[in-house]
């Protein structure tokens, strides 16, 4: 047991299963969370929700508070966007996850979200981590792009301080040499984190590469190497996206990829993303 992060260290305890709405993560199957970078309009998020659900995603993603590198880039629709996203998610019968920018937004967001995402730029926002530890909702913790693996796990330990174990770790690419790809996916680091903790570990190949054509091969690698799932950006019309359109998959591409992942899961004797939801007779959210 690692004494630096006793609450999340693997030790002898079984893996934690994280539940978001009716979706389960960390129970052995490879799960998918998908949706656009940002919520842009009712039509866009409605379409995205229905399409990713049909393709086999078990949670809808989408940003409404967008922490952008440039203050002149699209900053998101805020709470109004979250309400649109809630409606879209309910129509598609999917739970939703969205990024929380800081403690100030927590109370207003709480009634509308099934899980909170802590973005890479906020991984060490300690007041936010402490507030989320008590908020009673699952948290997806992105790794900061300049953070060591231990810093990432220590950030997760903050989230676990109040007995919360509903935490998913997301490796979303780190800074290395070169500018050809947006970031570098640290697949080995994700696998190491998975062995260090009892928490589910995901990758985000969309932000890690910035290249839609690299998303599928990395998803295959994650599935084959035993990671718990992935978060992927999917947009109904990537060329019109207000945010991260260059890296988004079309709904058709995502659907074809999920079929291929199912075949790979079968070949590897691993349950696939279709096993992500509880059977309908069990209580839903």
| Contacting positions for ligand PEP (CB under 6 A) | 37, 63, 119-121, 142, 172, 207
Residue 144 contact partner, candidates Mn ion, ligand PEP, none, CB within 5 to 8 A by sort of partner = none
Strand 167-171 and strand 201-203: pairing?
parallel
Residue 228 contact partner, candidates Mn ion, ligand PEP, none, CB within 5 to 8 A by sort of partner = none
Least Cα distance to 250 among 232, 264, 263 occurs for 232
Residue 56 contact partner, candidates Mn ion, ligand PEP, none, CB within 5 to 8 A by sort of partner = none
Give the rounded distance of the alpha carbon of 132 from its chain centre.
16
Residue 172 contact partner, candidates Mn ion, ligand PEP, none, CB within 5 to 8 A by sort of partner = ligand PEP
Least Cα distance to 193 among 228, 217, 165 occurs for 228
Q: What is the CA radius of gyration of the chain?
A: 17
Residue 142 contact partner, candidates ligand PEP, Mn ion, none, CB within 5 to 8 A by sort of partner = ligand PEP
- Cα 57 to Cα 94: distance, rounded to the nearest angstrom: 9
Q: DSSP characters for 237-249?
A: SGGG-SSSGGGPB
Site for Mn ion in 222-251 (CB under 5 A): 244
Instruction: In angstroms, give the least distance from the CB of 246 to ligand PEP.
Output: 13
Nearer of residues 61 and 86 to Mn ion, judged by Cβ: 61
Nearer of residues 35 and 229 to Mn ion, judged by Cβ: 35
The residue sitting closest to ligand PEP, measured at its beta carbon, is 119
The single-letter DSSP state of residue 173 is -
The token pair that represents 193 in the structure block = 């984190």
The token pair that represents 214 in the structure block = 């690299």
Nearer of residues 207 and 275 to ligand PEP, judged by Cβ: 207
Instruction: In angstroms, give the least distance from the CB of 122 to ligand PEP.
Output: 7
Nearer of residues 240 and 260 to ligand PEP, judged by Cβ: 240
Instruction: In angstroms, give the least distance from the CB of 244 to Mn ion.
Output: 4
Q: Up-side HSE of residue 268: CA atoms within 13 Å toward CB?
A: 19
Residue 119 contact partner, candidates Mn ion, ligand PEP, none, CB within 5 to 8 A by sort of partner = ligand PEP
Identify the burial level of 126 via C-beta atoms within 10 angstroms of its C-beta, where 0-12 means exposed, 13-18 middle and 19 or more buried.
exposed
> Per-residue x/- mask for Mn ion, residues 31 to 60, rule CB under 5 A?
------x-----------------------
Least Cα distance to 251 among 113, 68, 46, 76 occurs for 46
The residue sitting closest to Mn ion, measured at its beta carbon, is 37
- Cα 159 to Cα 267: distance, rounded to the nearest angstrom: 36
Nearer of residues 37 and 169 to ligand PEP, judged by Cβ: 37
Nearer of residues 29 and 172 to ligand PEP, judged by Cβ: 172
Strand 23-25 and strand 18-20: pairing?
antiparallel
Instruction: In angstroms, give the least distance from the CB of 171 to Mn ion.
Output: 15
> Which residues sit at the interface with Mn ion, rule CB under 5 A?
37, 244
């Amino acid at each position: 047991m690692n004494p630096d992060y006793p609450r999340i260290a693997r030790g002898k305890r079984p893996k934690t299963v994280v539940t978001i709405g009716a979706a389960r993560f960390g129970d052995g199957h490879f799960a998918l969370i998908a949706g656009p970078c940002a919520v842009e309009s009712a039509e866009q998020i409605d379409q995205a929700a229905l399409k990713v659900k049909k393709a086999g995603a078990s949670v809808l993603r989408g940003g409404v508070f967008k922490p952008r590198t440039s203050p002149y880039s699209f900053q998101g629709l805020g709470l109004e966007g979250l309400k649109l996203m809630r409606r879209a998610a309910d129509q598609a019968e999917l739970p939703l996850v969205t990024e929380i920018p800081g403690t100030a937004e927590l109370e207003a967001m709480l009634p509308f979200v099934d899980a909170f995402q802590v973005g890479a730029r906020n991984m060490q926002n300690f007041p936010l981590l402490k507030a989320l530890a008590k908020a009673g909702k699952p948290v997806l913790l992105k790794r900061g792009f300049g953070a060591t693996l231990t810093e990432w796990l220590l950030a997760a330990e903050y989230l676990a301080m109040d007995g919360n174990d509903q935490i998913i770790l997301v490796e979303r690419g780190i800074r290395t040499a070169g500018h050809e790809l947006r970031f570098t996916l640290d697949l080995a680091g994700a696998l190491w984190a998975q062995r260090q903790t009892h928490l589910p570990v995901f990758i985000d190949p969309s932000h890690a590469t910035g290249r839609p054509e690299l998303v599928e091969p990395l998803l295959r690698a994650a599935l084959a190497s035993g990671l718990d799932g992935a978060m992927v950006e999917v947009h109904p019309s990537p060329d019109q996206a207000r945010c991260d359109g260059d890296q988004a998959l079309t709904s058709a591409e995502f659907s074809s990829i999920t079929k291929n992942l199912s075949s790979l899961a079968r070949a590897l004797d691993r349950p696939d993303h279709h096993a992500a939801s509880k059977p309908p007779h069990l209580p839903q959210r």
